[in-house]
């Protein structure tokens, strides 16, 4: 009866994760972080199947039953450390702006994973993690606690990284996202502790599936108005904001609505040369530079698409376009100086101010700002004015 219950629980988790994967495929997300998240989902689905099979095979008597039980338990313990590692890897990719440092941390985190997985080969002879008796019944050994320790270490690492990031976040939406990531470890850790001290109760992997669902729901809620890679407002939200601001153009205001547009110089070559993971990192770094440049202002930040970004200064803001652009250039220079071993970031920036006589809608304002941005870009390519 208990075995059947765990099979049903695993089936529910599989359906839950399959629905998420189908939804992910429909959104056609392709960022490095999203791919890591999907790897976590696939691995969790495999674990749910293996966990259910372990319960079904344990104690059964049929030809090769003991060998099958040993194989299943070995895969189970490999996945037991792999899943938390994949979560820590996802957090690292999703939060890191320094790609070199991120790779170093990922390498360090990978070493104990490989060591623990390789150690399972010696368990066949020494049985220090688990043993299977002559009746084909599984028994824990002392090594179980070492594997549990590494699993929790990866989960705690992901939570600490998220909390540190939340503490330094300048934007409220960023902090909410980081707190959600930090909470991920709570449910599977609770299930793991229950299973560790009350053998026969298996809840950690279905609870891990619930945590994955919570992260996915948070991601989907943010994607309605937020770009998932940079966590800036998306193009849809930019259009809504500009429409609202331009519809209020008849109301007396102390200033003028200003739209600043920019893109990353040579971004296609960056992707082609260094790969999309590196390109994603550049876009994330640019978004962080813009957030720092617009801190303590009423500026509205958005990723317009691809490598293009927008800053909208409402009519009643206290800061002007030239000042914001100067801050951006200063922060770009500071970033380049502190990351001398990486390809320098360059931005082409142009802006336009709302003119009720020229602009029939916010689209014309976008067009004028975009045209000015490309004038700046062309001037960089042809500084002498030659074609």
d(CA 16, CA 11): 9
Which CATH architecture does the domain made up of 235-381 adopt? Answer: 2-Layer Sandwich (3.30)
Report the 10 Å Cβ neighbour count for 266: 15
- Two structure tokens written together for 379: 């001037």
Would you give per-residue pLDDT tens digits along the chain (387 residues)? 566 777 888 899 999 999 998 887 755 545 678 889 999 999 999 999 999 999 899 999 999 999 999 999 999 999 999 999 999 999 998 888 677 788 889 999 999 999 999 999 999 999 999 999 999 999 999 999 999 999 999 999 999 999 998 887 766 677 888 999 999 999 998 888 887 777 667 788 999 999 999 999 888 877 778 887 888 999 988 998 888 888 754 543 556 889 999 999 999 999 888 888 889 989 999 999 999 999 888 899 999 989 999 999 988 887 889 999 999 999 999 999 998 888 899 999 999 998 877 777 888 889 999 999 999 988 887 765 544
Q: For the chain, what's the residue count?
A: 387
Pick the closest to residue 13 from 54, 47, 38 (CA basis): 47
d(CA 35, CA 103): 16
DSSP-assigned letters across all residues of 209-256: HHHHHHHHHHHHHHHTTB-TTT-SB-HHHHHHHHHHHHHTTTS--SS-
Fold of 2-223: Rhopdopsin 7-helix transmembrane proteins (1.20.1070)
SS3 5: helix
d(CA 277, CA 283): 10
Domain spans in the chain, listed from the N-terminal domain onward? 2-223, 235-381
- Residue 262 backbone dihedrals phi, psi, to 5 degrees: -155, 155
């Amino acid at each position: 009866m208990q075995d059947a219950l765990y099979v049903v629980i695993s089936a529910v988790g599989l359906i839950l994760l399959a629905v998420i994967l189908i939804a992910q495929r429909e959104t056609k997300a392709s960022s490095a972080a999203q791919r890591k998240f999907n790897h976590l989902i696939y691995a969790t689905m495999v674990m749910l199947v293996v966990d259910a099979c372990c319960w079904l095979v344990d104690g059964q008597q049929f030809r090769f039953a003991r060998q099958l039980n040993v194989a299943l338990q070995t895969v189970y313990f490999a996945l037991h450390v792999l899943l938390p590692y994949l979560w820590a890897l996802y957090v690292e990719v999703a939060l890191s702006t320094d790609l070199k440092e991120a790779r170093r941390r990922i390498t360090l985190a990978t070493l104990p994973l490989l060591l623990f997985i390789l150690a399972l080969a010696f368990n066949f002879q020494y049985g220090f993690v688990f043993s299977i008796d002559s009746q084909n019944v599984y028994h824990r050994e002392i090594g179980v606690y070492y594997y549990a320790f590494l699993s929790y270490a990866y989960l705690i690492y992901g939570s600490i990284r998220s909390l540190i990031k939340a503490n330094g976040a300048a934007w409220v939406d960023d902090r909410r996202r980081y707190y959600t990531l930090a909470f991920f470890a709570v449910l599977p850790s609770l299930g793991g502790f229950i299973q560790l001290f009350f053998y026969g109760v298996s809840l950690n992997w279905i609870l891990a599936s619930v945590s994955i669902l919570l992260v996915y729901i948070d991601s989907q809620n943010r994607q309605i108005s937020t770009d998932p890679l940079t966590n800036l407002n998306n193009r849809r939200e930019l259009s809504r904001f500009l429409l609202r601001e331009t519809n209020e153009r008849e109301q007396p205001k102390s200033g003028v609505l200003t739209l600043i547009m920019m893109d990353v110089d040579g971004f296609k070559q960056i992707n082609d040369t260094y790969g999309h993971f590196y390109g994603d990192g550049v876009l994330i770094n640019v978004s962080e530079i813009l957030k720092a440049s617009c801190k303590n202002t009423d500026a509205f930040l958005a990723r317009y698409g691809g490598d293009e970004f927008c800053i909208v200064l409402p009519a009643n803001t206290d800061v002007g376009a030239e000042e914001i652009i100067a801050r951006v250039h200063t922060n770009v220079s500071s970033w380049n100086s502190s990351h001398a071993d990486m390809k320098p970031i360059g931005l082409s920036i142009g802006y336009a101010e709302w003119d009720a006589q020229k602009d029939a809608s916010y689209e014309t304002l976008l067009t004028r700002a975009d045209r000015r941005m490309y004038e700046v870009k062309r001037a960089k390519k042809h500084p002498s004015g030659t074609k």
